[in-house]
Homo-oligomer: A and B are copies of this chain.
Amino acid sequence: MCSQLQAAMSSLIDVFHSYSGREGDKYKLNKLELKNLLKEELSELLSDPMVVEKIMNDLDENQDGQVDFQEFVVLVAALTVACNEFFIVCEESCKQEHPGPKKN
């Protein structure tokens, strides 16, 4: 039986390989594969098309024009931290707008 966290980790691996396996080195994303991944998986978060070029350059630490799984996980981690912060800010501002009943 797979836990929710293990399922999420397994999904990250699956998603990466479902794009990286399309052409060239099947364990690395080239620019087209990365572009497709960002477009199909994260279009709601990353709507600016210019962002693909920027992300490719930022992620590709060893400048080989390809993104390996470790480089990909760094992106996912950063985005998830940003989403989490957004979630907390929303929750805090919601509490201020709609404070619960005061305790006696």
Contact = CB atoms under 8 A, between A and B. Distances in A.
A78 to B, nearest CB: 9
Given A12-B8, A76-B9, A40 B3 contact: yes
Interface string A1-21: 001111111111111100000
Contact of A6 (B6, B16, B42): B42
A70 B84 CA distance: 9
Given A73-B77, A77-B74, A4 B14 contact: yes
A79 interface: yes
Interface in A17-62: 27, 37, 40-42, 44-45
A90 interface: no
